[in-house]
Amino acid sequence: MRRQETENTVSASPVFQQATLPCGRVVQNRLVKVALYEHLATFNGGPPNTYHHDLYSEWAAHDWGIIITGNVQIAPDHLTVGRDMVVPPSVFSGHVIQEELRPFETLASVIHGVVARKDEKRSGGGQKNGTLAIMQLNHPGRQSSNFMGGRMPLQAPLAPSALRVNSGSNEGLVSSIVNASFFQTPKEMSEADILETIERFTRAAVLAQEVGFDGIQLHVAHGYLLSQFLSQKTNKRKDAYSYTNALDTIIKCIVDQTRACTRKDFVVGIKLNAADYTSPDSSDSVESSLTNGEQQALKHLLAIASWGTVDMVEISGGDYEKPDFMNAENYTSKSARQAFFARFSHQALRTLSSVYPSPSAGATASLTPPLQRPLIILTGGLRTPRLLHSALEAKHADLLGIGRSSILCPDLPSLLREKQLSDDEPFAAPPDLRLPTTLSLPPLSWLWALVPKVKVIGAGVNMAWYVVAMRHISESRERTGGKGAVRPDYTIGGLGGLSWMWAWTPSHPRGRWTIPFLLVTLVALVAYLSPHP
């Protein structure tokens, strides 16, 4: 009797209610494991490997509604900082090598819970877990770094316009030199370059369907290439691909071609920049006016909804010049919602609902079925069961994006389903990435004051810790065979995270290094001392 009461309570929870996407696919619950930077592939990029498979096996074991992969790059010569998953080159050659597709097939099967890893006997008996597997597709554009971007030295990355990252910043001479060493001035894309990129995104989407994924998400956020085309800051073109035209001439073109080449029920999602950034501590109410950047993003969202071809839009923000998406979430926020983009997403949902009313709302009969709007994913700051419920009930989102909390607590859906967390209990404790006490005392504190303020490096401290935490999940899954809850190693601080992030290869986990550990630690120390925005 008690078990039946628990099941009824869970089914009544808005978090575990199903949602239907416009393409017809059903999301079994509202929890979405959003894309995270993984840094698990080979140094110059490559396919998913056993580390990816073990990591995703842990998430797959707990029945998330949707699992979105870390970004899969469509161009091997445009990586972020190496170790990215990359679409196999043969996909674009017209002569696909099936052996290159198998790691991706395994990853899709892992997410669906059918197999844990291709070389293990564990399996789900061929029964899928109901989770939708979504491949995130990306091209970093000008944010592809010099040393680890997959290109030859001095070969410039492609971008809408020839504007280097932080080229107009006032961060000082030393910071400008550091930024220039990481990012060079990109080459402005020709029309042929743009058309080839559109074709690459389309073929990558077809690959995702062929290897067993349920859909794709286009990364149009965080200052990457597609986002660069939509920003007046990074796109100074005056042709058909200007920032005022690019939504139709590039993003819509990719979506339309993907729809033409895939099944009707293939999921197409977009990760969209809400604005340059919305502070989680903002005192603005939900009713307050949107910023200029948010108003532009809302126009883009309404246009995307009008296409009738996009199933879900994730609200996000930030780029390498203002890398808030890489920072640790603000656990001291006093906001009632504690969600980074809740104000914008609430306004977006309200506007979309007024433009696309429910068919049951008494609309005039028509031979043309009413257009169903894309579902909105809100990501950031959702750290307690109460916040999840309030985000849905207050109509701040349709789906709940869980990022770094999915690393701290990969079994979150199971914990929520079994009601092992109280309403206001955080899913897991955040890492303590503050400076060591010894570095806040003279004379080390004097040296700290002289270190250049390079925002993207400081923000990378947070990213590095979570990268190492994901490896820990993968390696724990390998050792234990998936038995018992997996939690991060909190003994690794920010400095340790940066060190272990770089002193590692897939074939040599922690304990063996491809470069001297002391050298990596020295570089990490300089980066760690950079203040975090």
Most distant pair of Cα atoms in the chain: their distance: 77
- Over residues 116-131, the mean pLDDT reads 60
| Model pTM score | 0.86
- Over residues 33-42, the mean pLDDT reads 94
Looking at per-residue confidence, does 513 or 253 come out higher?
253
Contacts 24+ apart (CB under 8 A), 283-292: 284/343, 285/343, 286/342, 286/343, 286/346, 286/347, 288/343, 290/343, 290/344, 290/347
Angle between helix 455-480 and helix 494-502 axes, rounded to 10 deg: 70
CATH class of 2-430: alpha beta
- Over residues 68-78, the mean pLDDT reads 96
Looking at per-residue confidence, does 297 or 105 come out higher?
105
* pLDDT tens profile 97-115: 889 999 999 999 999 998 7
* Residue given tokens 């140094």 in the structure block: 43
pLDDT of residue 253: 98
pLDDT at 357 over 70: no
**Residue 454, SS3 per DSSP:** coil
pLDDT of residue 482: 64
* pLDDT tens profile 442-495: 776 666 565 555 554 545 778 889 999 999 999 888 777 666 778 888 888 877
pLDDT of residue 284: 44
pLDDT confidence of 28, banded at 50, 70, 90? Answer: very high
Pick the closest to residue 207 from 309, 97, 362, 60 (CA basis): 97
DSSP H or E run through 458: helix 455-480
Domain ranges of the chain: 2-430, 433-533
pLDDT of residue 361: 43
Looking at per-residue confidence, does 106 or 380 come out higher?
106
pLDDT of residue 73: 97
